[in-house]
Each structure stands twice: as C-alpha cells, then as structure tokens.
Amino acid sequence: MIDPVIEAKQLTLRLSDKTIIDNVSFTLEQNKIYGLLGRNGAGKTTLLSLLAGFRNPTSGAITVNGEDVFENRAVVENISFIRDVKMDSDSDRLEDYLKGVALFRPHFDWEYAMTLVERFKLPIDSPMNKLSRGMQSAAHVIIGLASRAPITIFDEAYLGMDAPARDIFYKEVLNEYMERPRTIILSTHLISEVASMLEDVLILHQGSLMLHDRTESLLSRGTTITGDAAAVDGFTREKKVLNEQILGQTKSAMVYGELTETERSQAERQGLQIGPVALQELFIHLTGEKHNE
C-alpha cells in the first residue's frame, strides 16, 4: 500500500445504547506521526479499533484510500495495531510467538525484530507468560516496529516499560520514521515524553473530536512567561494561567492565549522571557472540568 490516507466521516459507534464515538470526522495524511490524546474513557482505544478494522461503525465510515476498513483483509494487513495486552495464558516462547505473528504481517522484518530483542534485552527462549509486564510490552512494541506496516498504531503499548526502555522505543520510532516514512499514531497519557515527536495532535473528549491541529499551531495557543515573580504576576493578572512554578524570586507562568505584539514588547521591557507552553498543560486545560463547564 502506497501513501495511505485515512478518512473518518461522521464516524459513530454505539455500544449497549451508549454513544462511545460520536460523529467523528478527520483526515490523516500519509507519513506523519500523529498523537491521539484524551482523558480516561474518552474513546481512544475504541476509535483506534474502528481504524484497525476490529469493529464495525454504527454509522458513518472509516476508510483507507477510500476503502472501508472493517473485514477488508487487503487494507487490514497494512495496519499494525499494538496494545498493551497481558499474556498471562500464552506459554509460547517469545521466538515462536514472534514467528507466529510474522506469518500474518507481509512487511515483517525478522532481522530487525531480533535486533530489537537484543536492544530491549528480552530472553528469546522465555515463554510469553513468564516475561515481566514491561518485557511483554516490549515484545508487543517490537511487533509494531518490525511489522513495518504503512499504518502503525501504538495504543498505550509501552505503559509497562520502564523509562530506559521507553527511551529506546521513542528513538526507534524516530529512526524508523526517518528511514521508512509511514503513518504512526501514538495514543498516550505520557504526553510530555512524546510531544516533540508529534506533527499533529488529535484530542478526543467524551467520544467527540475536540481538536485536530498541527502541534506547532496548537502550542502557539499558549505562552510561558518567566522572570521576576512580581513582574510575572503583574503581567499575567488578567490572563488564564494554566500552571506556575516558583524558584526563589523567579516565577514561570504558562498562560492560555496568544500574546499581542504590544504585550510582547511590554514583557520585553519588563525583562520577562517568553517561551513556548507545554503540550501537557494545554491538554489539561482543554480537557479539564472548568474549560468544559
């Protein structure tokens, strides 16, 4: 499959009379890294299951290059959907497990998978259910990376992994993406760790798509003001402050909303530094209780 374009049109899923995905529409262009963010229960896994063809929408459509995904083998074999599932009852050795998975994945690179097994220091002969939680996560991440599917989805796949293992994962994702561009969707609560990798961000809130924007333009909605604590307080008095940090006499405040040119020169005159806002703070603000009252 070349250059997959994913389109959701008024996508809706109801389960037991509850609307889980509510009239969601978006277009995902080929070969970008997308971040799918949302609070617990927002519907991220459900949306990704629809995209991976595991579920049939109640109404609306989700297509890849114009073709419906559900029960469409030609499309689905180009999608790798990696979740953090526990393998408590699977006694296959890791090597056999990977061999089994590779059979159904046309782009699977066995040599790369073995390199990753070494990088994550996984015992290749161990039964899956004897691996630690983090090692099981790493095994799934290896499948996602080595499958080299044109559409690769990591749904909290790396939650059990410790910080050094996650670091390896992020580096591998970026390396792979540079060498073999593909569409990668990362659904995560570890926003600060992945923020710099994301080209576009989608925020799902209570089943609806709240926002789809380039990360850069999303980040321009907020500003960090740093400097003398009293000056920062004066400057931000009328503004929506998302978060503040104080270190001695110095204060750093994240505010929502773009600054005007006049405000920027005013800040400069007062010796205040202006910097970018963190994606995580924006996310907390946009999906927090108060913003949605």
Ligand X SMILES: Nc1ncnc2c1ncn2[C@@H]1O[C@H](COP(=O)(O)OP(=O)(O)OP(=O)(O)O)[C@@H](O)[C@H]1O
Number of neighbours of residue 24 by Cβ within 10 angstroms? 23
Residue 29, C-beta contacts closer than 8 angstroms, at least 6 positions apart: 5, 183
Q: Which is nearer to ligand X, 40 or 249 (CB)?
A: 40
d(CA 163, CA 30): 29
Select the residue interacting with ligand X from 2, 17, 40, 88 (CB under 6 A).
Answer: 40
Burial class (CB in 10 A: 0-12, 13-18, 19+), 293: exposed
Report the nearest approach of ligand X to the CB of residue 40 (Å).
3
Contact between 160 and ligand X per CB under 6 A:
no
Does the footprint of ligand X cover residue 17 (CB under 6 A)?
Answer: no
38 contributes a contact to ligand X by CB under 6 A: yes
Q: Is 203 in the site for ligand X (CB under 6 A)?
A: no
Chosen residue from 6, 11, 22, 44 binding ligand X by CB under 6 A: 44
Position 20 contacts ligand X (CB under 6 A): yes
**Least distance (Å) between residue 21 CB and ligand X:** 8
Query: In the structure encoding, which two tokens stand for residue 55, read together?
Result: 């579920």
Q: Does residue number 8 form part of the binding site for ligand X (CB under 6 A)?
A: no
- Cα separation values, 224 from 189, 235, 236, 241, 242, Å: 22, 11, 10, 9, 10
Q: Would you count residue 276 as binding ligand X (CB under 6 A)?
A: no
Whether the CB-CB separation of 273 and 225 falls below 8 Å is answered with yes
Helix (H) or strand (E) holding 12: strand 6-15
Q: 3-state DSSP helix/strand/coil percent for the chain, to nearest 5?
A: 35, 30, 35
Residue 12 binds to ligand X (criterion: CB under 6 A): no
Of the listed pieces 12-20, 56-64, 109-117, 171-179, which binds ligand X according to CB under 6 A?
A: 12-20
Our CB check for ligand X shows the closer of 155 and 200 to be 155
Contacts with ligand X by CB under 6 A lie at 15-16, 18, 20, 38, 40-46
